[in-house]
Amino acid sequence: MRNGGRNVVKTSFLTYNELNYMNTKIKMKAIIFCLCFACALPLGAQTNLLPNGEIWSDENGVHINAHGGGILFHDGRYYWFGEHKIEGTAGNLAHVGVHCYSSSDLRNWTDEGIALHVSDNPESDIARGRCILERPKVIYNAQTKKFVMWFHLEVGGNYQSARSGVAVADCVTGPYQFLRSMRINEGFWPMNVAGHLKELLRPDEVEYIAELRLTGGFHPDYPRDMVFRRDFIGGQMARDMTLFVDDDGKAYHIYSSEENGTLHIAELADDYLSHSGAFVRIFPGRFHEAPAIFKKDGKYFLFASGCTGWAPNAARLATAERIMGEWTELGNPCRGSKEECETTFRAQSTFVLKVHDKDEWIFMADRWCPNNAIDGRYVWIPIRFDAAGTPYLTLEENEPGE
């Protein structure tokens, strides 16, 4: 049965007596099967996740409302932050804010309420019903002891402003105080571009870009080395985003920039409340959205999607030895049917969760429902690793029989 919530995998071995009763040929086959099966599994039982694509209810029986979300593990609990959506297409604008849920086991969720409320002041950047507030992520700053939330913010509600919002709280569940919204790293050049590209655009070049009418989707004439130069003044665009705190406590904001054509990885300041000015461009002209990053055995891995609006597309995977690159694309990490691979199991990445105290990571994704935003569903897949240590995504072992 698909999405049957069967993410618990049990390894079974035959006993010595059972083996003795088999003839040699069958015995050999059984041993090979058991060895292969055991090698394909991570050590220990996997975390028991909720059934993909079904209604995930909180402790009150209400569908969890935390879309485009991310999870912070703090003081023994998981805190899931995501976009609170309302019914209908209106739900694609922010009417409520960022919802928070908590859990000790990633299966039973307590409603912790709205962590960040939109504002009733129509002049506010986060005015109720007038802005788009997407993909909130929260990190904890051990030095300041503050919880810091960043999110993608479209002030006009029409995907034109490509800003980032930041909010801060003393308590993990909030209330978060909205500080400001901004374009990113105004007046800083990317660290990984050649000197001759560190030049402002001429007015005719700015006009040329405007005439291309870049809409955030793939464009065959995408001017791959121009948009960041246009935005040197005014700051870099940032849409789909995630946050990552490295082992040394440095935090990074990873976002779709330059009209969605190019990803940026930007270092945050020590208090995580602004950017340090250090940033790199990666995969210019490849149109990545939905970045979700993790680190395993000293290597960085980045999942992302292509840019097809709310419709799902094929996931992409990349890796790097250092967070600021060089990054290398590894292709589509999905294994399954053609449809599953081409649509990332009908979902789009939002975050990778490291399971506490386990050598286990979970790929978190959204199955968007733009015509009735509140009905968006969640797809969480335990990440598997091949013999070379490359991550991949499959539902197969979780859902036998299909």
Q: Residues 198-237 vs ligand DGJ: string with x where CB under 6 A?
A: ----------------------------------------
Binding ligand DGJ (rule: CB under 6 A), the pick from 47, 65, 344, 348 is 348
3-state DSSP assignment of residue 251: strand
Q: Are 159 and 239 in contact (CB under 8 A)?
A: yes
Residues 141-180 that bind ligand DGJ (CB under 6 A): none
Q: Are 325 and 246 in contact (CB under 8 A)?
A: no
Tokens of 220: 């065959």
Query: Interface with ligand DGJ includes 58 (CB under 6 A)?
Result: no
In the complex, least distance from residue 83 CB atom to ligand DGJ, rounded to whole angstroms: 8
Query: Which CB sits closer to ligand DGJ, 333 or 376?
Result: 376
Count residues contacting ligand DGJ (CB under 6 A)?
9
Query: Which CB sits closer to ligand DGJ, 152 or 230?
Result: 152
How many other CB atoms are found less than 10 A from the CB of residue 16? 7
In the complex, least distance from residue 43 CB atom to ligand DGJ, rounded to whole angstroms: 34
Which residue is nearest to ligand DGJ, using beta carbons? Answer: 309
In the complex, least distance from residue 278 CB atom to ligand DGJ, rounded to whole angstroms: 25
Element (H, E) at 35: helix 24-39
Residue whose C-alpha is closest to residue 81's, from 142, 143, 151: 151
In the complex, least distance from residue 400 CB atom to ligand DGJ, rounded to whole angstroms: 31
In the complex, least distance from residue 117 CB atom to ligand DGJ, rounded to whole angstroms: 20
Q: Would you state the torsion angle of the CA atoms of residues 271, 277, 282, 286, taken in this order, to the nearest 10 degrees?
A: 100
| Rounded-to-integer distance, Cα 379 and Cα 362, Å | 10
3-state helix, strand, coil split of the chain in percent (to 5) is 15, 35, 50
Residues 267-326 that bind ligand DGJ (CB under 6 A): 289-290, 309-310
Query: Interface with ligand DGJ includes 71 (CB under 6 A)?
Result: no
In the complex, least distance from residue 44 CB atom to ligand DGJ, rounded to whole angstroms: 33
Query: Interface with ligand DGJ includes 240 (CB under 6 A)?
Result: yes
| Rounded-to-integer distance, Cα 73 and Cα 368, Å | 25
Binding ligand DGJ (rule: CB under 6 A), the pick from 58, 134, 258, 340 is 134
Q: Which DSSP string do the residues of 311-369 spell out, in sequence order?
A: S----EEEEESSTTS-EEEEE--EESSHHHHHHTTT-EEEEEEEPTTSS-EEEEEEE--
Which residues contact ligand DGJ (rule: CB under 6 A)? Answer: 68, 134-135, 240, 289-290, 309-310, 348
